Amino acid sequence: QASNALLVSPHLLSYFSPIVGGASHGERFLVDSNLDWGQDLPELRNEMHRLGYRRIALQYFGTASPAAYGVDSIPLGPDIRDCQGVAVSKTFLWGAYTGGRDPFRKFRDIEPIGSAGYSIAIYDLKDARVREAAQFAISAGVPR
């Protein structure tokens, strides 16, 4: 177990037993503070740089300011034309705190282009399926 935990370091909050698929699949079993405290904003900034993204539409589960970590983002909403990608905290991606609407369910059928740690999935807005999923989420009512 200890060696498996070291494999996800420094993302220890995201550790899940290999029996359930490890950190890569833990969000299918538990979300909220079991996975996501907003700890991956620095990693999101790094992934944005790696992908060449200047700005993203962000549906983030946490209380810290993304800008404080160098993340240029706007909340996911109707005006995302200046964004290159969409980033969704897995707590929202798997339907928690969405009032039963599950607005992000279409994203679950799309392979993310990147990941910030194990708690934020990143999608490319050049993909028509991502644009459609974003519009669906917006029309279904994203949590604020």
Q: Tell me if 93 sits within 8 A of 108, measured CB to CB.
A: yes
27 or 38: whose pLDDT is higher? 38
Q: What is the 3-state secondary structure (H, E, C) of 72-90?
A: CEEECCCCCCCCCEEEEEH
Q: Is the four-CA dihedral 84, 70, 9, 15 of positive or negative sign?
A: negative
pTM above 0.85, yes or no: no
State the CB neighbour count (10 A cutoff) for residue 79: 10
Peptide bond into 10 cis (omega under 30): yes
Quick one: pLDDT at residue 12? 46
% of residues, the chain, pLDDT over 70? 69
The residues near 113 (Cβ < 8 Å, ≥ 6 apart) are 51, 85, 122, 123, 124, 127
Phi/psi of residue 14, nearest 5 degrees: -90, 5
Domain ranges of the chain: 36-140
The residues near 15 (Cβ < 8 Å, ≥ 6 apart) are 4, 5, 8, 23, 26
Residue-wise pLDDT for 46-77, tens only, equals 999 999 999 999 998 888 899 999 999 999 99
40 or 58: whose pLDDT is higher? 58
- Under DSSP, the state recorded for 140 is H
Quick one: pLDDT at residue 13? 46
Q: What is the mean pLDDT of the chain?
A: 80
Quick one: pLDDT at residue 16? 47
Q: How confident is the model at residue 29 (pLDDT cuts 50, 70, 90)?
A: very low
Quick one: pLDDT at residue 70? 97
Q: How confident is the model at residue 144 (pLDDT cuts 50, 70, 90)?
A: low
Residue (of 3, 134, 114) closest to 59 by Cα position: 134
Q: How confident is the model at residue 94 (pLDDT cuts 50, 70, 90)?
A: confident
Minimum mean pLDDT among 5-9, 77-81, 97-101, 120-124: which range?
5-9
